[in-house]
Structure 1
Amino acid sequence: MDYEDPYESLPPTSTPTTHMLAGSAAGVLEHSVMYPVDCVKTRMQSLVPDPKADYRSVLDAFNTIIRHEGMLRTMKGAPIVVLGAGPAHAFYFACYEFLKKNLSGGKQGNHLAHGLAGSVATLLHDSVMVPVDVVKQRMQMFNSPYTTCRMCARTILKQEGMFAFYRSYTTQLTMNIPFQSVHFMTYEFMQDWLNQGRNYNPVTHVVSGGAAGAVAATVTMPLDVCKTLLNTQERCTRTHASYINGMVSAFRTVYEFQGVRGFFKGLTARVIFQMPATAISWSVYEGFKYIITKKQSVEDALPKRLSIGSAASASSHTK
């Protein structure tokens, strides 16, 4: 198919602000709804978890946290994620739409262009979300000494410096570039399969988004474990240096403590998080696009109707 689809590319008058608003709404909803599962994932990836923990499954881990620490504990650190997800996803989707349109020429089926657009968009997204993840994951850890996100951020800045907020940036990019490439390519492939006409169809957006999240999460799981370690800096793992710096050091530490299986701890939780999270994100984003497109179509049709009506009226007067 080499035609330009009006819904898929959005109206010509749409602006980056449109994409940013849609992306911001999608990001906030995605992270807010799925935050408790994200907390469970972080706990399951911990090299030294709660000694009373029963983390054999996602449900066991969730029940353990609630039983010993209360339901609100699964939402600790959520405020900073909500605050960061808005601008991060705004830049992310705006950049993706711009590059997707220019690299593919507005035509369907060019999944390489989709993957490349997603990879570049990740650079903007992660520049905002990496510091947010550092604070969030330290708040999520068992026996975290921090009571608020502000207290956590101030303590990190004072004790470890600004670099601590970007210690995992390289690993995050190493993970997220392939993650987003696989994510967008899978999503667009599923849309080609389920929704060839690229019409607004919530069911196909949910299914495609869920599949994209599951595939991308599985492929990049070892890197996510290393990212968590770099963000949390669990003190008991610092056997060779004051801090664990860099991807190689993180990989070595995880392997020393838990072997190969350590790189896949929390995989089920991550897939359970990513499937509905990406489904929610794409559904909200595509829904926002659809509303904007329909509104623009109505606004474009109105002058035509008025001109036709005026012409008909003039013709009747002439007669």
Structure 2
Amino acid sequence: MAQSNDNEKRSPRFDRTERRIHVNPAYHTSLSTAVAVSMQVLVSHPLDTLKVRLQTTTNHSDVGALRLFANFCRSEGPGFMFRGLSFPLMTVSVGTIGGIATYTRTLSHLKPGSDVKKLDQFSYLDNFVAGWVYGCTRAVVITPVELVKSRLQVQRNGGPQLYSGPVDCMRKVGRALGLRGLYQGFISMLAREAISGAIFFPVGRYVTRQLKDHTRVPEIWATMIAGGIAGVASSSVVYPLDTVKNCIQVVKDDAPTQHRQMIYWFQKLYREGGMRGLCPAFAPAMLRIFMGCGTFYSAFFFLLKYLADHEEVVQGSEEVRPWANIEAQKSPRLSVGEAAQRLVQSSEEAALQ
């Protein structure tokens, strides 16, 4: 006990207050979104390529998805599924970061003074409105990305290679149609993103809450399942819009103006194949959505929580101040002169003892 009291009296020779660096929550959100979106793109892009090929292939309603997939693999090799991967991998996160930023900002405006990290305090209506704003923001940013990705995905190996890469595609489209050409299919893209965002977030919160309250599923798996279910629920509603959007974006630059209109493709696809014509490759698309959205949802919230828990970065080492107690850690940081003076005092006290 005496030894313990002596230790408490000893001056903390290198006692430095733990400086804590408070990171702006926006950085947490941006970093979490970028990592989560990159993981989502890597997981879902192969099936997305297959989906776009099937959506833009003529007479797709007469041929099964597995047969077309086998034909593509036979003629081009399995590598066709990774066409156009680099461009969305580098750019989609920008649109999603902007969308998530407006999503959290909208939530804070709907309920002033609330902590957007604690999503349980927001109602399903709040998530619906914020999700709608998220979708609108994301559509503005990623429409050119989707156009370039779709055009690269439909290029066949061994066939005419109109574009050598993403930059070449943007340059040729811009030269032929101007900036407006990069936003072909924007109306259908805006409708798709706004509606799916308004459905995705409230459904995701509802499923997450139900899994946490009524099952013993670990939280990371609960968020992954919830994200997958929410993605399927939202994407199945807007799937015809997605098909129309892809058909508009891969139209040749010299095609008639009506071929860039939503109503033209709705009528054409429905006339040729009914709802099946508007929803080709539905099963592989939903599998891709479940995998991609589940990965994004779980990775985003896991990283956001992890970064929030480690927001305060401690500077200093416990090894150089083994006797420093809690009160000492909270004391003001000493200057060099004060530290030297205390060191001398502690030496004198030790000599007297």
TM-superposed CA distance for 1:161, in Å, is 2.2
Give, in whole Å, the separation in 1 of the partners of 2:282 and 2:306.
36
TM-superposed CA distance for 1:17, in Å, is 2.0
Q: 1:98 to 1:288 in 2, by over 3 A?
A: same
Q: 1:117 to 1:130 in 2, by over 3 A?
A: same
TM-superposed CA distance for 1:111, in Å, is 0.7
Could you tell me whether the CA contact under 8 Å between 2:204 and 2:230 is conserved in 1?
yes
Q: Which residue among 283, 292, 313 is the counterpart of 1:277?
A: 292
1:268 aligned onto 2:283? yes
Give, in whole Å, the separation in 2 of the partners of 1:121 and 1:69.
37
TM-superposed CA distance for 1:48, in Å, is 1.8
1:172 aligned onto 2:197? no
> Which residue of structure 1 lines up, in the alignment, with residue 231 of structure 2?
213
> Which residue of structure 2 lines up, in the alignment, with residue 139 of structure 1?
152
Give, in whole Å, the separation in 2 of the partners of 1:14 and 1:66.
47
Could you tell me whether the CA contact under 8 Å between 1:81 and 1:136 is conserved in 2?
yes
> Which residue of structure 1 lines up, in the alignment, with residue 52 of structure 2?
42
TM-superposed CA distance for 1:288, in Å, is 0.9
> Which residue of structure 2 lines up, in the alignment, with residue 17 of structure 1?
27
> Which residue of structure 2 lines up, in the alignment, with residue 154 of structure 1?
171
Q: Which runs of 5+ in 1 are unaligned?
A: 1-11
TM-superposed CA distance for 1:205, in Å, is 0.8
Query: After the TM superposition, which residues 121-132 of structure 1 pair with which residues of structure 2 at under 5 Å, given as runs?
Result: 121-132=134-145
The structure with more radius of gyration: 2
1:294 aligned onto 2:309? yes
1:70 aligned onto 2:77? yes
TM-superposed CA distance for 1:121, in Å, is 1.5
Q: Which 10-residue stretch deviates more, 272-281 or 67-76?
A: 67-76
TM-superposed CA distance for 1:54, in Å, is 8.8
1:56 aligned onto 2:64? yes
TM-superposed CA distance for 1:246, in Å, is 2.9
Give, in whole Å, the separation in 1 of the partners of 2:58 and 2:249.
14
Give, in whole Å, the separation in 2 of the partners of 1:169 and 1:200.
39
> Which residue of structure 2 lines up, in the alignment, with residue 230 of structure 1?
248
Q: TM-score, normalised by structure 2?
A: 0.74
Give, in whole Å, the separation in 2 of the partners of 1:230 and 1:285.
31
SS at match of 2:228: helix
Relative contact order (alpha carbons < 8 A, sep ≥ 6): 1 or 2 greater?
2
Give, in whole Å, the separation in 1 of the partners of 2:196 and 2:271.
26
Q: TM-score, normalised by structure 1?
A: 0.82
1:186 aligned onto 2:203? yes
Q: Which 10-residue stretch deviates more, 247-256 or 163-172?
A: 247-256
TM-superposed CA distance for 1:260, in Å, is 3.1
For 1:231, the aligned partner's letter is Q
Q: Which runs of 5+ in 2 are unaligned?
A: 1-21, 318-323, 332-348
For 1:16, the aligned partner's letter is A
TM-superposed CA distance for 1:247, in Å, is 2.0
* Cα deviation code 1:52-95 (max 9, x no counterpart): x99413x4333322211012221111111112112112112222
Q: Which residue among 56, 78, 89 is the counterpart of 1:82?
A: 89
For 1:188, the aligned partner's letter is R
For 1:56, the aligned partner's letter is G
Q: Which residue among 113, 118, 128 is the counterpart of 1:115?
A: 128
